[in-house]
Each structure stands twice: as C-alpha cells, then as structure tokens.
Structure 1
Amino acid sequence: MSHRHPDLSRRQTLCTLAALCTTAAPTMNAIAAPAPTTVPTEVASDLKQVQLRGRAPLRFFGLLVYEARLWAQPAFEAERYDQLPFALELEYARKLEGQAIAERSIAEMRRVGEFTEAQSKAWLAFMNQAFPNVGAQDRLTGVHDGAGGVRFYFNGKQTAATQDKAYARLFFGIWLSPKTSAPGLRNALIGKA
C-alpha cells in the first residue's frame, strides 16, 4: 500500500467530492418529504421485520447529495453491523455518474480497512455494474443478509449481487463503521443523533 503526502490525499479527496457534487444544479427540495414509513419493496422482499432505524442527509459544501436511510430489525447493533441483516437506502438529490460513485466508494472503503489492489480492481468492476448513473430522486439500495451477501438495487430493480464478507464489511462501513468519514451521519443512521 503506497503512502501519499497527506495534503495531496486531502486535495484528491476534495477534487473527487467536488466532481461528484458539481455535475448538476442542486435540487434541494427533492428529498424534503417526510421520512417514509413503508419499507421499500426490495428491502421487504429480502429482509423480514425491519423498520426505519435512522435517516440523515449527506451534504457537501452545503449542497445536498443524498439522504441515507438505514432499515434494520429492532435488535440491530451498530458495533456488529457486518454480522446482521439490514438495508442502506440512498435517495439522491442530484445527477452523479455511477463510475464516480464506485470510485469514491473504493476511496472511502480504504478509511475503514485495508485491502489488496486485486480486491480493489474486482470490487470497482463489481460496483461499476451495481451503480448506474443517478439523478434526483433515484434510489440506490444495498441489502446485507448478515452473512456477507449483498444485493444492490436501483429504484427497486436488482443490479448486482455478491457473496463477499470482506467487501460487505468495508462497503457498508463507509456509513456504519466507527472509522467513517461522516460520524454525524453514522450517529443519525444508527439512532444516536
């Protein structure tokens, strides 16, 4: 694993996030509606007895990127997220390219834990299949079965699936691990906000 100069890494992160967030004008009221109380169909078909655990917006320089929602069973424990069934739903507020979402995911997964370059390439290819380009009010949902199985859905239609415990732990760790780059969002999702 190569070590980069910290300022260069921060600059690259800011450039990547700026690229993600400037591809379209903001639509701030796209997610202004109250929290949904009905479990999304794709979540209900894969998981039983889940409810909305928490929701939180992700903003970049004040611009809404998406709202995240965590659907989990009442006994969900954040410290054991990689061993429990749940679904993470992201409803976007702007246009983003699927490839940019996949690349940013790899960068954020590196904050959660280490993985090889071979894993990085395989996971990037997988996510390029899983994540199409999105627009305002599009939803990407990841469903974790509790044993490392992951299914991705775009607006309720499955795009990809894998059975990879390491991937599941690191990917969902972007939001649920204590090492997340967005601890406030994590706290809101798991009900600590």
Structure 2
Amino acid sequence: MKPASLARRRCLADLGAACVVLAAAPSLAWAQSVDPATAAPAEVASTLTGARLQGQLRFRWFGLHIYDARLWSRERVASDDYAGREFALELQYARSLAGSAIAERSIDEMRKLDAVNEAQATAWLAAMRAAFPDVQAGERITGRHRPGQGASFYFNGRATREIADSEFARLFFGIWLSPRSGSASQRAALLGQPA
C-alpha cells in the first residue's frame, strides 16, 4: 500500500472516531434561559390551558443547529414521572428535514429506551410518518402528551395525527425526558433544572 493511501486511511479512521465521540457528547445540547412569561404557541394554549414554559434547549449535532425544543406544562414535570404528566413538547427546526427521517430516528431512539417488537415498530413508524411532514427552517412540530391515552401532534399549529397508545407516548417523549435517555444535559434543560 502506498504511504499516501495509508496516511489517508488513518486520517479517515481518526475522523470517524472523532465523529463517534462527538455524537455521544452530552454538550451538544445547550440550555437557554427560560422566561416564564413566554407565550405558548396557539396549539398549546388551546389544548393545554394555563401551560407555562418549563424549559428549553438548542440541539446541535456535529455543530449544526438542528432544532430548538421547549417543554410546556401546567405543573412541573420531572424525569421520573413524565409519563404521568400532561405536557407539550415543541420542536422548532433550524433546517430542512424529511418527516420520514424524523420518524425513523425517533423509532431508533425509542428502541434505546425499551424493547419494541417489530409489529409495534412498524405501526408506530407508519403513524409517525403520517404525523411528521417534511419540515423547513422555522417550522414547528409539537407533540402533546396525554397520560394514559397517547399523543397528539401538530405541524405549525395544525393538528396532524393522534396516536392513541400510551406506551408509544411514554417512549416517544422519553427520548427527551426519560432518565434512560442519552443526554442528561438535554433532559435537565427541558425540565428547567441545572445540568
């Protein structure tokens, strides 16, 4: 093998290792200060009367700003009891993403939290593909958690899909709020807690 080719392979291997480390780094989500007087978006104000901003974060992946997330609730949501609380999670995207890619990534993240059989995964993936349209920068997808019932989704304030499955809702919102989720700093920011 030529020395230049070997050096190129080593460089690519080092770059790949750096990407893996960056992908796992919890510092990719940064908390932003919360102004409790911030007005809830219309779909939150109309379906979750009295909801206030509990926490928010800016999510970056490999340095790219992907979305800003805001957690809206009437009462404090904690990581150990989020599945029993009513709240809304608003994601405002900073770049264009395919709705199907958002759905597929969501299933992958849900599987990291708990076992999901193939039949569930297939049904949930189809439901999320119907709920999540392609997004452009500035557009929003909001999910409302209804304890014991499931989830309702909105795109820029317009209802897109209800998923009447409490286990789906627990795992979907667990991506951000479960104690088993991958990023403690992301979870703390959304819950309005110090990291």
**Shorter-chain TM band:** 0.7 to 0.9
Residue identity matched to 2:151: V
Judge conservation of contact 1:94–1:135 (CA < 8 Å) in 2: yes
Equivalent residues in 2 for 1:22-171 (5 A)? 37-171=38-172
Q: Following the alignment from structure 1 to structure 2, what is the Cα–Cα distance between the partners of residues 172 and 75?
A: 15
Q: Following the alignment from structure 1 to structure 2, what is the Cα–Cα distance between the partners of residues 75 and 93?
A: 27
Judge conservation of contact 2:54–2:190 (CA < 8 Å) in 1: yes
Describe the SS at the equivalent of 2:119. helix
Deviation at 1:76, TM superposition (A): 2.6
Q: Following the alignment from structure 1 to structure 2, what is the Cα–Cα distance between the partners of residues 40 and 153?
A: 11
Judge conservation of contact 1:51–1:72 (CA < 8 Å) in 2: yes
Per-residue Cα deviation, 1:125-168 (whole angstroms, up to 9, x for no partner): 00000000001100000001222321100000011002101100
Q: Following the alignment from structure 1 to structure 2, what is the Cα–Cα distance between the partners of residues 151 and 186?
A: 21
Q: Following the alignment from structure 1 to structure 2, what is the Cα–Cα distance between the partners of residues 145 and 59?
A: 28
Provide structure 2 residue ranges, at least 5 long, that are not aligned to the other structure: 1-15, 24-31
Moved over 4 A (4+): none
Instruction: Using structure 1 for the length normalisation, give the TM-score.
Output: 0.80
Aligned length: 166
Residue identity matched to 1:131: F
Q: CA RMSD in A?
A: 2.2
Q: Following the alignment from structure 1 to structure 2, what is the Cα–Cα distance between the partners of residues 147 and 49?
A: 21
Provide structure 1 residue ranges, at least 5 long, that are not aligned to the other structure: 1-9, 18-31
Instruction: Using structure 2 for the length normalisation, give the TM-score.
Output: 0.79
Judge conservation of contact 2:103–2:125 (CA < 8 Å) in 1: yes
Residue identity matched to 1:80: D
Per-residue Cα deviation, 1:67-108 (whole angstroms, up to 9, x for no partner): 110001233333111111000000000000000000000000
Deviation at 1:191, TM superposition (A): 1.2
Q: Percent identity?
A: 48
Larger-gyration structure (1/2):
2
Describe the SS at the equivalent of 2:159. strand
Deviation at 1:183, TM superposition (A): 1.9
Q: Following the alignment from structure 1 to structure 2, what is the Cα–Cα distance between the partners of residues 69 and 75?
A: 14
Residue identity matched to 1:53: Q
Q: Following the alignment from structure 2 to structure 1, what is the Cα–Cα distance between the partners of residues 73 and 64?
A: 28
Judge conservation of contact 1:85–1:146 (CA < 8 Å) in 2: yes
Deviation at 1:47, TM superposition (A): 1.1
Q: Following the alignment from structure 1 to structure 2, what is the Cα–Cα distance between the partners of residues 162 and 63?
A: 30
The answer for the alignment partner of 1:21 in structure 2 is none
